[in-house]
Amino acid sequence: MSKKTDRLREINSPEFLPRWLKILTNLQYRLIVEGVAVGALAGLLVSAFRVALSKADEIRTILLTAAEEKFTIYIWYILILVFLTVAVSFIVKREPLCSGSGIPQVKGELEGQIKANWLSVIIAKFIGGVMAIGAGLSLGREGPSIQLGAMVGKGFSRLSGRFREEEHLLMTCGGSAGLAAAFGAPLAGVVFALEELHKSFSAEILLSAMAAAITGDWVGSTFFGLSPVFSLTPFMRLPLTHYWMVIVLGILLGAFGVLYNKCIAISQNFFGSLKPEWLKAVIPFIAIIILVFAYPIGLGSGHELVDFASEGHGVKVLLILLVIKFVFSIMSFGTGAPGGIFLPLLVLGSVAGGLFAETMNLVVSDTIFYATYFVILGMAGLFASIVRAPVTGIILISEMTGVLHNMLPLALVTLVSYVTAELIGGIPIYDQLLNRLLANQKKAREKRKAINVE
C-alpha cells in the first residue's frame, strides 16, 4: 500500500509533469549516453567476474593435476570444497535474490514484481558465483553476468536520481552489456533485451541497449581479445541434400528442450523439499567428489566440451558424456547456487549435435565430415527450445563461433526446435523460473504473516 501511495504522491507533485516532458524530449539521446556509461561499468564488472572464474578454474585444474601425483592433495581439495559449499550456502541464505541464474530476477524487477538491493546482489552474486562455478558445479557465467549488469544499471539510476521507467531501461542496458561482455556477443545482448527481457520493441530500448552492449563488448575485448568464444571451424558447408537432417535434429532438440525444462522443475522441487537445508549443499558436494575420481571432464560449465564434441569420439563416448552432463547440470542448477544455465545448455546442445552426427554417419557415411556444423546447430536448436528465443539463439551462436555463413541451417533448426517445443507444451525456462520465484516469495510472505498473527 505504501508503494502505491508513494507513486501517487510522485505523479501528483507539481514538478512531475514539467520534468517528465523535459525527459521525453531528450530521453532517446540521453539514454544513449547513459547506455555507454552503464555499458562501461557493467563491462568492467563482468570482465572482473570472468577473470575471477578463469583463475578459479586454473586453481582447480592445478590441484587435480597435482593430486594425481600426490594423493594428500585430494584431502586439501575436499577441505576447500567443504569451505566453498558452506560459504555459498551462507551467501544465498543472506541474499536469496543472488541464487540461480539471475535472469528471472531481472525479468521480475522489470515487470515490477521484485525489488532487489542492487549493491547487495552485486556483492553476493559475484562472490557466490565465483565460488559455486569455481568449485566445479555445472553452471555458467552468462546469467550472473546479465544480473550483475542489470544491477549496475539500477545502481547508476538510483545514484543519479532517475525515474522508475528510466531505471528499467538502464537495467536493460546493463543486462545487454553483461551478456555482451560475458560472451563477446553485442548483437545477441541487444536482441536478448528485446526478445526475452522486454518482449517488445522500441527505439529507446534498441538504441540504449546497443550503446551499452557495444561498450560492454569493447571493454570485455580489451581483456579477452577479439577471438570468438568457441574456436569451431567447419571444414565445408552443409549441402542442401543434408538439410532433412537439420529438420530431424530440430525435432529431437525441441523434445530434448522440453525434457530439460521439466527436469529443472523436478530438481528444484526435490532440493526445495530437503530437510534439513544443509543437505542441498551436501549432495552436489558428493557429486563433485565422485566426478573428480570417476569423470573429471564432467566438472564445471564444460566450455572445452564444445570442441571435444566436434572431434569424432564415437557414439558411446558422446552418449555417456551427454547423460552425465545432463544429470549434473540439472542437479547443479536445482540446488539454487549462483550460476546460469546458458553455457551448460549450449554444451549439452553441442554434445547432442555431435552425437547426432556420429549416429547419422551410420546411415549416411559422409555425415561425420559435417560434425562441426551439427555441433553448432545443436547449440542453437537447444537454446531455442529451452529459452524460446530463436532470434537470440541464431545471433548468439553466430557471434560465439564466428561462423556467419550458416544462417539458413541455423534458422531452420531453431524454427523447427521452437515449434516442436511449443507443440509439446511447457513454458520457456526463464518464465518457468520467474513463476517459481514469485510463488516462493508469496509463500514466504504468508508464512511471516502467520508468525506475526500468532
Q: What is the DSSP string of 426-453?
A: ---HHHHHHHHHHHHHHHHHHHHHHHHH
Residue 278 exposed, middle or buried by CB count within 10 Å (0-12, 13-18, 19+): exposed
Predicted pLDDT at 16: 59
240-438: CATH class: mainly alpha
In 3D space, the residue among 342, 441, 451 whose CA is nearest the CA of residue 96 turns out to be: 441
Among the four given CATH numbers 1.10.540.10, 3.40.190.10, 1.10.760.10, 1.10.3080.10, the one describing domain 23-224: 1.10.3080.10
Predicted pLDDT at 6: 59
| CATH 1.10.3080.10, the chain: domain bounds | 23-224, 240-438
Helix H or strand E encompassing 21 = helix 16-69
Euclidean distance between CA atoms 186 and 180, whole angstroms = 4
Could you tell me if 253 and 387 are in contact, meaning their C-beta atoms sit under 8 angstroms apart? no
Residue 425 exposed, middle or buried by CB count within 10 Å (0-12, 13-18, 19+): exposed
Could you say which DSSP state residue 233 is in? -
Residue 171 exposed, middle or buried by CB count within 10 Å (0-12, 13-18, 19+): buried
Amino acid 300 reads G
Could you tell me if 191 and 204 are in contact, meaning their C-beta atoms sit under 8 angstroms apart? no
In 3D space, the residue among 198, 255, 192, 271 whose CA is nearest the CA of residue 436 turns out to be: 271
Per-residue pLDDT of the chain (454 residues; tens, 9 = 90+): 455 555 555 555 666 556 655 555 566 777 888 999 999 999 999 999 999 999 998 888 888 888 878 888 888 888 888 898 889 989 988 999 998 888 999 999 988 888 889 999 999 999 999 999 888 888 988 889 999 999 999 999 988 887 777 888 899 999 999 999 999 999 999 998 888 887 777 777 888 899 999 999 999 999 998 888 887 777 678 888 889 999 999 999 999 999 999 999 999 999 888 887 777 778 888 888 888 888 888 888 888 888 888 887 888 999 999 999 999 999 999 888 899 888 899 999 999 999 999 999 988 888 788 888 899 999 999 999 999 989 998 999 988 888 777 889 999 999 999 999 999 988 899 889 988 888 877 776 766 666 655 5
Predicted pLDDT at 294: 85
Could you tell me if 220 and 184 are in contact, meaning their C-beta atoms sit under 8 angstroms apart? yes
Predicted pLDDT at 286: 87
pTM (predicted TM-score): 0.88
Neighbours of 432 (CB within 10 A): 18
Amino acid 70 reads K
How far from 337 is each of 30, 87, 119, 250, 279, CA to CA, in Å?
Answer: 37, 11, 19, 31, 13
In 3D space, the residue among 342, 344, 302, 379 whose CA is nearest the CA of residue 142 turns out to be: 342
